[in-house]
Structure formats: C-alpha cells, structure tokens
Amino acid sequence: MADVTSAASREPVGYRGPVACAAAGITYRQLDYWARTNLVSPSIQSAEGSGSKRLYSFRDIVVLKVVKRLLDAGVSLQNIRKAIEVLRVHRAGDLAEITLISDGTTVYECRSPEEVVDLLKGGQGVFGIALAGAVHEIEGSVTVLSEADESLDVDEPPHRRDIAG
C-alpha cells in the first residue's frame, strides 16, 4: 500500500499532529519532541515558524506507532533511532511485510517467517512487532480521526483547546 493520496489533487494526504497522536497512541509532547529531534519528522510539511502546522503521512504515523511500541518494550531511544533509520528506506506498503524482533538491545528486521524462527532459535529475540498490525490499525483510525479533526482549526493538544468558546 502506498501513501494515501487525495483523488482531487493526487498529492499525499497530510495528517495533523492531533490525528497522528491519536492514531499512533502517543502524546502531543512525544510527537513534538520526536519531530524536533528528527526521530520521526513529518514528511508532508514541517512546522516553519509560528502558526504553521506539521503534516504527517500515513507512513510517518506507522513509524510513530512502531517507535511507541519499541519504547513500551524497553528499547533504548538510541537503538530505536537505528531501527528507524532502517525503516526510512521502505515505502508504506513495504512496512507491512516487516517484523521487527528485539532482544532489548538490538532490533532485527525480518521479512519472512523463517527469519523470525531463526532469530528465536538462536535465543536472540525477546519480542516482535509485526508492522502489518500497525498498518491495519492505523488504516482504520486515520479516516475517522481526520474527519473529526477537520472541524478543529488548531494544531494543539486537546487539553489546551478552548472548545466551549
């Protein structure tokens, strides 16, 4: 699957920060920090100056979700950066074919069940992340979240919005 494109413009669809956060299961603070430190940068539009909005691609959101899962599994940010470098060369459709296996120190990229079994037999793998699952979860949520987000005209965390006003 390639990045979602707008039928009218044939350009990649960009998802705003709150949508990316909700779809990936992260906080706005994490999203902002990861963008500022270039862990996961928005590939559609980066924030340039006050009032500009970051726009994330579908692929970016998949990578955000992977980062979150690796952090939750106890992988260091340094090793996550290495894993993300490997994923950067893959298109969104290719990500669904990858399983990441980690022993908590090193992250391995596996493309076949045989590779996964070989790692597990060697005692190296402790946990795995099948990116296909992340891709399918995000496919289901970004459309709903985007439609809800269109009614809001700000790119802030929900707790800072004045919705009553």
Let me know if 78 is exposed, middle or buried by CB neighbors in 10 A (0-12, 13-18, 19+).
exposed
Residue 9 lies in a domain: no
Residue type, 30: Q
The rounded mean pLDDT for the chain is 77
Ordered mean pLDDT values, 10 residues apiece, the chain (165 residues) = 46 85 95 94 83 87 92 87 81 78 78 79 69 78 68 49 43
Alpha helices in 38-128 (DSSP H): 58-72, 77-88, 92-95, 113-121
pLDDT given at position 148: 66
Residue 10 lies in a domain: no
Q: DSSP state, 4?
A: P
Name the residue with tokens 């705003």: 16
Residue 163 lies in a domain: no
3-state secondary structure of 128: strand
- Percent of residues in the chain assigned helix, strand, coil, to nearest 5: 50, 10, 40
Domain at 116, CATH number: 1.10.1660.10
Closest listed residue to residue 57, CA positions, set 33, 27, 90: 90
Number of domains comprising the chain: 1
Residues of the domain holding 39: 15-158
pLDDT given at position 55: 94
pLDDT given at position 152: 47
Helix pair 58-72, 17-24: axis angle to 10 deg? 50
pLDDT given at position 147: 65
